[in-house]
Structure 1
């Protein structure tokens, strides 16, 4: 009987050791991507695009719409956040490897992405814009058909343009500066892109330009991204629901996107 007690005690001790070791794996190690929850080690590593309005530094302080949203979610669920700024192209591979636990970077929810990742409830929608020279006759959405529109190759703007403005001519360029250059050189009449990013791009445009038209696309919701099966997704959803009800979401949205019209997606949830 005593020997049986010793065997059981030894088994319990070994189990405790295994649990302690499994929860002290360093971030980025091969096994870190297999954690059942982003909160397993009491820290939430949030990957953010290192660019306004997602995440940027203002003096010694961090700012940004997605930064503020991620901060509130971490605070609500009681997990210490650690923001990891990087290029957008590196975010998903970092999530795959376990270097980060969540992406907060204006990521649109698409069918293709949902096959590989879990998304939270929407916390924003994609706002689209047409940027034009300051003397452009384009003033409303109805003016777009029949004009030449520059886009960045490989972005969702191409399919949106084809669906919503079938008579517009698509002028595809490899990146944002090249698209703006096409407008400046008269090879395109406007630049179609995600509105939150165009303000910064306009500052470096080759000719005076302005963001002429801005509108929300409820069919392109934006959510936090998690690895498949991460239990934190449900906690994030609960936190987002609370933020909408208590006005926190509207406060943050107003701080960064005061001029953007409120999407119907959020009006339906009671945001006024």
Structure 2
């Protein structure tokens, strides 16, 4: 009797779990994680999330007839949150890389960016070669870390958790430069006249929305919605608002 009861309990748990999974897959809400510390892509203003990625995601969800449930976590935790099932997707200026594609799926690219160097205008770094032997701040979990490891092993990396810390270290002179994404670096330099972005771009990268491999239909829906908002002009309006230039 006991073993039969245990078996029935186990079967019931599996059945309920299956119903829960189906129910979530059919939900009208997409659980999206972000690290809202990377203006103009995602940041908080007056206590509200805003930025290019935030508006684009909301526009895509609206086109899909869905709502977005946002959760803020550190950048290094974005992919693990998807893999563990705590989130359906991550939207946070994430470069599409082969390493990341092993554990999550990506939508079609939604914007072209790349790595650049932010430094003091009157500082010693004028070209990429000048990075050797200097202190360079990078955000943990980003492609900047591996780039410096591979291309500039003589650099003294100063790894920080938050994007803001990375920029602040350069501004106060505790780092000679920062290697990060072009949109954020350009915006920060515009508001801080002592800083500049080197004209020589390190890499050209493409941003994508990271999606759970268990939800291929969600990736497909994102891609279809992206095509539609590009066709109807919504996408370009968002691009113009945040970058005042045509998207690549």
Query: Please, what TM-score do these two structures have when normalized by structure 1?
Result: 0.66
Identify the residue that residue 237 of structure 1 maps to in structure 2: 223
Distance 1:103 1:214, change over 3 A: farther
Q: Report the Cα offset of residue 181 of structure 1.
A: 4.2
Identify the residue that residue 144 of structure 1 maps to in structure 2: 128
Q: Superposed, which structure 2 residues align to 1:1-272 within 5 Å?
A: 22-23=18-19, 25=20, 35=21, 39-51=25-37, 52-59=39-46, 61-136=48-123, 143-148=127-132, 150-152=136-138, 155-157=142-144, 160=147, 170-175=155-160, 177=165, 181=169, 185=173, 188=176, 190-198=177-185, 208-213=194-199, 215=201, 217-218=203-204, 220-230=205-215, 231-258=217-244, 266=248
Cα deviation 1:17-56 (Å, max 9, x = unaligned): x68x855x4xxxxxxxxx4696412211111212233433
In 1, are the aligned partners of 2:42 and 2:50 still within 8 Å (CA)?
yes
Distance 1:171 1:253, change over 3 A: farther
Q: Report the Cα offset of residue 226 of structure 1.
A: 1.1
- The structure 1 segments of at least 4 consecutive aligned residues displaced by more than 6 Å after TM superposition are 199-205
Question: Is there any run of 5+ residues in structure 2 with no aligned partner, and where?
Answer: 1-14
Query: Please, what TM-score do these two structures have when normalized by structure 2?
Result: 0.71
Question: Is there any run of 5+ residues in structure 1 with no aligned partner, and where?
Answer: 1-17, 26-34, 267-272
Secondary structure class of the residue paired with 2:199: strand
In 2, are the aligned partners of 1:36 and 1:229 still within 8 Å (CA)?
no
Secondary structure class of the residue paired with 2:70: strand
Secondary structure class of the residue paired with 1:130: strand
CA distance in 2, matches of 1:213, 1:37: 50
Identify the residue that residue 8 of structure 2 maps to in structure 1: none
CA distance in 2, matches of 1:178, 1:47: 21
CA distance in 1, matches of 2:233, 2:55: 14
In 1, are the aligned partners of 2:118 and 2:197 still within 8 Å (CA)?
yes
CA RMSD of the aligned region, Å? Answer: 3.8
CA distance in 1, matches of 2:230, 2:244: 16
Q: Which has the larger radius of gyration?
A: 1
Q: Report the Cα offset of residue 74 of structure 1.
A: 0.6
Higher relative contact order (CA 8 A, sep 6+): 2
In 2, are the aligned partners of 1:48 and 1:91 still within 8 Å (CA)?
yes
Distance 1:238 1:210, change over 3 A: same
CA distance in 1, matches of 2:105, 2:22: 13
